[in-house]
Amino acid sequence: MKLPNINEARERTDKEVQYIYLNQEYNKDTFKNKKYFLRTYGCQMNVHDGEEIAARLESLGLTSTDELTNADVVVLNTCAIRENAHDKLYGFLGRCKHEKEKNNPNLIICICGCMAQEEGVVKELMQKHPYVDLVFGTHNIHELQDLLISRQNKQEIEVYSCEGNVYENISYKRDSSIKAWVNIQYGCDKFCTYCIVPYTRGKQRSRKSNEIIKEVKELVAQGYQEVTLLGQNVNAYGKDLENELNFAGLLEAVSKTGIPRLRFVTSHPWDFTDEMINTIAKYDNIMPYIHLPLQSGSTDILKKMGRRYTKEEYLTLYNKIKNTIPNCSITTDIIVGFPNETDDDFQETLDVVNKCQFDSAFTFIYSPREGTPAAKIKDKISLDTKEKRLHELNELINSYSLAANQKYLNKVVPVLIEGVSEKGQDKVFGYTDAMKLVNITNAKEDIGKIINVKITAAKSFSLDGEKEV
């Protein structure tokens, strides 16, 4: 048994990151004819971890099911970024408990992901949820098979609060055969004062560029049309290694693999260089779309958040990107109600939104996370005020999203068709180069292809279009 520890999770030392080449083989008869139910919450990093978890479960012979009632193993891959993620997990855990008590006493319930790295969560699981069989963290996903094989009939907790290593030769059961995630970096060292990620995912550590390029080349050979490079802070890629490419160099090298579309998330404004902007502008297969979290428009709040840029610096960077990369769409993340955010601070955020006119934004009410510096600040702002601010912000954001989408009316744009649309069986959906969601008629035979689409209608969150013939 190994429990998470916040003080160990916070620690950053000079200890060298280990690059570990896994060479794991498992017997596919171990869980023959058994089924797993995997549910993933949270960000793209978690979604991609889910693809690794699925491959690991299948290496033991398990096959996937969408029905909890058919499952022999349940894996809940959790998110810790805000409190509501906790509520969702405990809600679903109730259903798992019921299933185990009433229908299937042999059901193996596993919890992993970012919440498993939290001291308080694991204590609660031990005290109040003894029916949970296995808890493992973000640092030992590679141990999943061994943990399942060796587990006894008692609750097993195996969570490491370490700075972290880099594992190679990982297999993934990818959700799509058209677009793929590729990790370029793990962890985060920014320690923004509200954020739990540096504690749940360890220190910033880059993969070696030759491994990244090898993985992308394999995806190109398999016919993938799009790759998204993943990291908490991709712009800082390579800074933790000697003799390694920087992010601009990596983008250039990956672009030259010939992958039709290349994307990346997430960028921190602090590490965004002119070289990067010029590289994105130079290569046609690097998509003109950047997610650039603002968090707040108030320089005072940004300082308290530990974001390392001012309102003016953000605006300067924003304009530089817009002026250098033609038709670049920019989206953002904004937190309202950081402790003691004043009306004036909030007006500064609205001012930045008015100046930038983002293509879209994810907006959140600040949620205190145990162990982070901001959680210790005594907050005088009521939830009611925060909710009103969120509402006002969303109205403004949505009006700009609609305006940005309306600019596409009657234009012809390239769209990568991904599959059948939620809007009806006769429609397909895909994304433009600038990451606009489009629902398209008359293109069912084009799934997996990039086609030209004429935009016929614009809404706040999507476009409608027709295949250009």
Among 76, 96, 114, 192, binds ligand SF4 (CB under 6 A): 192
How far is it, in rounded angstroms, from Cα 211 to Cα 166?
Answer: 11
Burial class (CB in 10 A: 0-12, 13-18, 19+), 370: middle
Cβ-contact 215, 250 below 8 angstroms: no
Residues near ligand 5AD (CB under 6 A) are: 81-82, 194-195, 293, 295, 333, 335, 364, 366-367, 369
Which partner, ligand SF4, ligand 5AD, none, binds residue 216 by CB below 5 to 8 Å per kind? none
Could you tell me whether strands 450-458 and 412-421 are parallel, antiparallel, or unpaired per DSSP bridges? antiparallel
- The residue among 188 and 353 lying less far from ligand SF4, judged by its C-beta, is 188
Q: Per-residue b/e over 34-58, b at no fewer than 16 CB within 10 Å?
A: bbbbbbbbbbebbebbbbbbbebbb
Shortest distance, CB of residue 403 to ligand SF4, whole angstroms? Answer: 28
Which partner, ligand SF4, ligand 5AD, none, binds residue 4 by CB below 5 to 8 Å per kind? none
Cβ-contact 9, 187 below 8 angstroms: no
Half-sphere exposure at residue 176, Cβ-oriented, CA atoms within 13 angstroms: 21
**Interaction residues for ligand SF4, span 445-464 (CB under 6 A):** none
Q: Which stretch binds ligand SF4 (CB under 6 A): 28-36, 195-203, 241-249, 350-358?
A: 195-203
Which partner, ligand SF4, ligand 5AD, none, binds residue 232 by CB below 5 to 8 Å per kind? ligand SF4
- The residue among 81 and 93 lying less far from ligand SF4, judged by its C-beta, is 81
Estimate the crossing angle of helix 247-255 against helix 209-221, to 10 degrees: 20
- The residue among 198 and 430 lying less far from ligand SF4, judged by its C-beta, is 198
Shortest distance, CB of residue 337 to ligand 5AD, whole angstroms? Answer: 9
**Interaction residues for ligand SF4, span 80-119 (CB under 6 A):** none
Which partner, ligand SF4, ligand 5AD, none, binds residue 191 by CB below 5 to 8 Å per kind? ligand SF4
Torsion of CA 8, 11, 15, 16, to 10 degrees: 90
Cβ-contact 7, 184 below 8 angstroms: no
Sheet holding 261-265, edge to edge: 179-183, 226-230, 261-265
Instruction: Find all residues with CB under 8 Å of 191, minimum gap 6, and list them.
Output: 198, 306
Comparing every residue's Cβ against ligand 5AD, the nearest one is 333
**Interaction residues for ligand SF4, span 229-288 (CB under 6 A):** 232-233, 268
Which helix (H) or strand (E) segment holds residue 112: the answer is strand 108-113
- The residue among 173 and 190 lying less far from ligand SF4, judged by its C-beta, is 190
Q: Which stretch binds ligand SF4 (CB under 6 A): 194-202, 207-215, 357-365, 382-390?
A: 194-202
Residues near ligand SF4, by CB under 6 A: 188, 190-192, 195, 197-198, 232-233, 268
